Amino acid sequence: MANSSVVDFPKNFTKALNDPQLRHNLRSAMDTLGMRRRTLFSDPVSFEQLRATGDEIRQRALRQLPELLEKLEKKCTENGIQVHWAETPAEANQICLEIIQRHNAHRVIKGKSMVSEEMHLNHFLAEHDVEALETDLGEYIIQLDHETPSHIIVPAIHKNRDQIARLFHDKIPNTPYTEVVEELNAIARKVLREKFLAGEVGVSGVNFAVAETGTLCLVENEGNGRMCTTAPPVHIAVMGLEKVVERLDDVPPLLRLLTGSATGQLITTYFNMITSPRKAGEKDGPKEVHLVLLDNGRSKIWADPELRQTLKCIRCGACLNHCPVYTRLGGHAYGYVYPGPIGSILTPQIEGLVNAGAMATASTFCGACEEVCPVKIPITDILRRLRNESYQKVDTPHAVKGHGYKLSVIESLTWKGWALNNMMPWANALSAKLLGLLSAQLPRLPKVGLLKYWGQSRTLPKFAARSLHALAKEKGLRDE
Amino acid sequence: MPTRPQKVYYFGTCLIDLCYPQAGMAGIELLQREGVEVLFPQQQSCCGQPAYNSGFPEEARKVARQQLKAFPNDYPIVVPSGSCGGMLKHHYPKLFANQPEFAEAQRFSGQVMELTEFLVTVLEIQLEDRGQPIKVTWHSSCSALREMRVIDYSKSLLRQLRNVELVELRRERECCGFGGSFSVKQADLSSAMVSDKVADIEKTGASRLLSGDCGCLMHIGGALDYQKSLIPAQHIAEFVWERVHG
Ligand code: SF4
C-alpha cells in the first residue's frame, strides 16, 4: 500500500511543513470544505440522530459481515454480475488483468476508486501494456503530474488553480495557458470525452454494496463514473469487502452522511445504482459486469471487536478535512494511500506497525476527527491501542502485526520510574521540591534531551519553588 | 443539577502542582469564597494521562490506582483542567475495564467535574469585577471542548466580568499542537501548529491569553514568550480570582 517501500516520515513531514504554497492551498481548501459541512449539518441534534443511524447501519453490517458477503455474492450472481474474491492486492490486480486481456483490451477508463489505489492498479496495468486513464477531474490532474491522490475524496486538493493551469498548458498538447475555471474544465472535458469513446473496459470503485438486492452504489459529481460504468462493454467494480450493507433502506442515510460530510452536499450530481449488465433488449450498458472484492487485511481487522470499528468507515474524508495535522501536511507526507486520521488507524493495521506505526504518533488526540466522523469511529481510542501495541508484545490472538516493535528498555524504565514517583506521595513531594530548587538555581532549564525539541519553538516553563501540595498544606486544607 | 455540596475534593493536577501552583490556589480560593470546604488529599499525584497516551497503559493504571485510593469519599472531585478532568472522567472506566477496580473507577469518574463547570452550574457563582478594563482572548483546550464540553461555562465566567472584553480567536476550535509527548516527539508539527495559534492570538489585539488548561498554557505561553510576544498566558481561575479579589 506504500507509494515507496520505505517511508521516511520525519523527512516527509519536514518537507511538507517547509512548503508554504502547500500549506496555503491546504488551509484554504480545508476551510471551505469544513464550512460547507457545517452549513449542511447546522442542527447538532438532527446531525447526532443521523449519525447514530449511520453508526447503527455500519455496525449491523459488520456484525453479519460473512453472511452479508455471501448474500451479496449470491444476489449479484443471480443478477448477472460476476463476483471475484481477492485476498491480496496482487490477486485483485491479476483478476482485473485477466478480464481485460480476455477482451483483448488495452485502454481502460477509470472512475475514482481508493481501492484501486490500494492495489496500485494503474501501475500494474501499465506493466502489462494496458493504459489506465483516470477520468475523475482531480484524478486526471494528478495522473498528468505523475502523482498519487493527496486526499481520499479530493485527490488534487494540494494544488491550486494556477498550478493546474500551468500543468494543463505544459502537459496537454496545444493547450493555451488559462486560469479561468470554466476553460480549464472545458479542456479536461474535451480530452476525456475522446477517451471515454475509446475506452474498452471501465473500472470503478463502490461506495456501498447492498446485500439484499445485489446493487452496487456509486456516488460522484462529474458523470465520469456513469460513463465508465456504462460506455465500455465491460465494467469492473473493485471494492473493499467491508463496504457491504444489509438492505436498500440502509443506503439513503449513509448517502446523506457521506455527501454531507465529504463536501457539504445534500446529494451529489450523480448517484449510480448498478444491479446487472445490459439485459436482452436494452440499448446500452456494459455486456459484462464484474465485482472484485478485496480483503487485504480486512478480515484480520474484523476479527478484533475494537479494531473492527475501523471498518465502519465510509471514506467521506471529513476526518482529514478537520485534522490539524493533515491540514499542515497534506496526504503525500504520510507516504501511504490513506492519509489523515483514517489513514493513521487503517494503514498500521494493514501494513503492520514496523512500517506504518509512526502514523499513530502523528496525533495530539485533539478529537476533531471523531467529532465529525459520520459513523462514530473511536479514532483516538484506536490510535491509543496502536501506540500501546507498538511498545508491548501482546499475546491476544488479534494483536496488530508488528506489535512490540518499539520495545525499548530506556523508554520502559522511564515510564516505570515515572509511575513509581507518582505512586509514592513522599517521592512525589521530594521530586517537586528538588525541581523547584533546581529551577531557582537555573534561570532556564538547559536544552538537553527531549527539552531540546521543546526548545526549538517554545521557552521552557519554570518549576515553582513550592508545589500546590505544599501551599495547600500551609493553608491548612484538610483531607478526608 | 447536583445540589450544592458542603465539601469538595480538589484534584490539583501534576502540572499545576509543579509549575503553576498559583493557578491551583486560585481555584481553591474561588471555591472557598462560595462557602465550600475544599479537601486536598496530600496522597494525590498525576491522573496518569502521560503514560496512557504514550503507549504505557500498565504504568498509567498504577498511577491511577493511587488516585482512586486518595479520593475515597463520594464528594465531588473538582479539577482545574479539562484535560486531566477528561482523563479522570472519561478514560478511567476504559483504563479499568476488566480490572478489579472497575466499579471503584466508575464511582470516581462519576464525581469528577471541571472547575468552571462546577462554579457555574453547581455553585451558580456571581462575580463582581474590580479590575481595570482589559481585552482578553480565550483558548479552548481540545479536551475541555470535546470531552468535558465545558467551554460555554468557562466563557460565561469571563462574560460576567464587567470590565473584561473577550475577543474570540478565529480558529478557536483548532488544537494548539501540545498533545503531551507529541510536542517533543513531533516537534516540527507541534511548532507549526503553535505558531499558527500565536499568530491568531496576536491578531486579536488582546493583552492576555486565558485558558482552562495549563498544558496548553505552558505550550502556547512558551511559544508566545519564545517569539517575544508581550501577551502573557494565564489560567482562567487565576485571572478570575484576581478580578474579583481586587
Ligand atoms: S473515519 Fe469517519 S470521518 Fe474519516 S473518512 Fe472514515 S467515515 Fe469519514
- What pLDDT, on a 0 to 100 scale, did the predictor assign at position A443? 61
Pairing mode, strands A270-274 and A215-220? antiparallel
Amino acid present at A150: S
Same domain, B142 and B216: yes
Same domain, B82 and B19: yes
**Which set of grid coordinates corresponds to residue A339?**
492519509
Of the candidates B197, B192, B171, the residue with the CA atom closest to the CA atom of residue A18:
B192
Mean pLDDT throughout B213-217? Answer: 97
**Which set of grid coordinates corresponds to residue B80?**
482545574
Tallying the residues shown for chain B, one arrives at: 246
Same domain, B103 and B79: yes
B59 is a domain residue: yes
CB atoms within 10 A of CB A131: 16
Contacts of A472 in chain B (CB under 8 A): 10, 12, 24-25, 28, 40, 42
Residue A256 above 70 pLDDT? yes
Full DSSP string of A327-387:
HHH-SGGG-BSS-HHHHHHHHHHHH-HHHHGGGGGS-----HHHHH-TT---HHHHHHHHH
Same domain, B114 and B183: no
Backbone angles phi, psi at A132, to 5 degrees: -110, 120
Mean pLDDT throughout A175-188? Answer: 93
Chain centroid to Cα A454, Å, comes to 30
| Exposure of A72 in the CB half-sphere (CA atoms within 13 A) | 31
Residue A437 above 80 pLDDT? no
Same domain, B144 and B67: no
Write down the mean pLDDT value for chain A: 93
| DSSP secondary structure code for residue B133 in this structure | P
Q: pLDDT category, A444, cuts 50, 70, 90? A: low
Whole-number percent of chain B with pLDDT over 90 = 96
Same domain, B151 and B70: no
The residues lining ligand 1, judged by C-beta closer than 6 Å to any ligand atom, are A 261, 313-319, 341-342, 372-375, 377
Residue among B10, B28, B219 whose CB faces A458 most closely: B219
Mean pLDDT throughout A206-219? Answer: 98
| ipTM (interface pTM) | 0.95
Dist CA A209 CA A218 (whole Å): 9
Same domain, B206 and B228: yes
Residue spans of the domains in chain A: they are: 63-299, 409-474
Q: Which residues pair with A295 in a beta bridge?
A: none
Element at A271 (helix H, strand E): strand A270-274
Which residue on chain B is closest to A322 by alpha carbon? Answer: B174
Beta-carbon separation of B18 and A467 below 8 A? yes
- What pLDDT, on a 0 to 100 scale, did the predictor assign at position B21? 96
Dist CA A215 CA A218 (whole Å): 10
Backbone angles phi, psi at B213, to 5 degrees: -130, 125
From first CA to last CA, the distance across chain B in angstroms is 31
Helix (H, G, I), strand (E, B) or coil at B187: helix
Question: Ligand 1, residues A154, A207, A342: which to mutate, most atoms within 8 A of Cβ?
Answer: A342
Residue among A388, A419, A471 whose CB faces B63 most closely: A419
Same domain, B166 and B199: yes
Of the candidates A452, A455, A472, A456, the residue with the CA atom closest to the CA atom of residue A464:
A472
Mean pLDDT throughout B109-124? Answer: 98
What is the sign of the dihedral through the CA atoms of A220, A221, A227 and A228?
Answer: negative
Shortest-distance Cα residue to atom 8 of ligand 1: A316
CB B225 within 8 Å of CB B114:
no
Mean pLDDT throughout B14-34? Answer: 96
Dist CA A104 CA A154 (whole Å): 33
Residue A323 above 90 pLDDT? yes
Q: What is the gyration radius of the CA atoms in chain B, in angstroms? A: 18
Rounded alpha-carbon distances, angstroms, from residue A454 to A11, B15, B222, B231: 19, 16, 9, 20
Full DSSP string of A420-476:
HHHH-HHHHHHHHHHHHHHHHH-SS----THHHHHTTTSPPP---SS-HHHHHHHTT
Rounded alpha-carbon distances, angstroms, from residue A128 to A105, A111, A125, A288, B129: 11, 20, 5, 22, 77
Q: How many structural domains comprise chain B?
A: 2
Residue B106 above 60 pLDDT? yes
Of the candidates A100, A93, A150, A99, the residue with the CA atom closest to the CA atom of residue A119:
A93
Rounded alpha-carbon distances, angstroms, from residue A61 to A56, A301, A308: 8, 15, 11
The atom number, within ligand 1, closest to the CA of A312 reads 7
Domain of B200? 134-245
Same domain, B116 and B193: no
Q: pLDDT category, A413, cuts 50, 70, 90? A: confident
Q: pLDDT category, A442, cuts 50, 70, 90? A: low
What is the sign of the dihedral through the CA atoms of A472, A474, A475 and A477?
Answer: positive
Pairing mode, strands A244-245 and A208-210? parallel
Least-confidence region, from A56-70, A318-332, A438-452, B79-93: A438-452
CB A221 within 8 Å of CB A119:
no
Mean pLDDT throughout B76-84? Answer: 97
Residue A1 above 60 pLDDT? no
Residue among A363, A425, A471 whose CB faces B43 most closely: A425
Q: Where does a domain end: B81, B96, B122?
A: B122
Least-confidence region, from A29-43, A183-197, A232-246, A363-377: A183-197
- What pLDDT, on a 0 to 100 scale, did the predictor assign at position A4? 45
Residue A5 above 70 pLDDT? no
B2 is a domain residue: no
Q: pLDDT category, B100, cuts 50, 70, 90? A: very high
pLDDT, greater one: A415 or B102: B102
Report the CATH architecture of A63-299: 3-Layer(aba) Sandwich (3.40)
Q: Where does a domain end: B59, B94, B122?
A: B122
- What pLDDT, on a 0 to 100 scale, did the predictor assign at position A227? 94
CB A203 within 8 Å of CB A209:
no
Shortest-distance Cα residue to atom 7 of ligand 1: A313
Question: Ligand 1, residues A255, A316, A334, A382: which to mutate, most atoms within 8 A of Cβ?
Answer: A316
**Which set of grid coordinates corresponds to residue B157?**
465566567
Global confidence as pTM: 0.94
Question: Looking at residue B198, which CATH number applies to its domain?
Answer: 3.40.50.1860
Rounded alpha-carbon distances, angstroms, from residue B175 to A16, A405, A460, B212, B236: 19, 29, 20, 14, 18
B72 is a domain residue: yes
B127 is a domain residue: no
- What pLDDT, on a 0 to 100 scale, did the predictor assign at position A445? 62
Of the candidates B212, B219, B53, the residue with the CA atom closest to the CA atom of residue B119:
B212
pLDDT, greater one: A137 or A442: A137
| B32 Cβ neighbours under 8 A, 6+ residues apart | B38
Same domain, B67 and B103: yes
CB atoms within 10 A of CB A193: 12
Whole-number percent of chain A with pLDDT over 70 = 97
Same domain, B200 and B106: no
From first CA to last CA, the distance across chain A in angstroms is 57
Tallying the residues shown for chain A, one arrives at: 480
- What pLDDT, on a 0 to 100 scale, did the predictor assign at position A461? 86
Rounded alpha-carbon distances, angstroms, from residue B194 to A70, A328, B32, B99: 50, 12, 35, 38
Burial A17-50 (b: 16+ CB within 10 A, else e): bebeebbebbeebbeebbebbeebbeeeeebeeb
Tell me, in angstroms, the distance from the centre of ligand 1 to residue A421's CA: 40
Mean pLDDT throughout A74-98? Answer: 98
Beta-carbon separation of B222 and A14 below 8 A? no
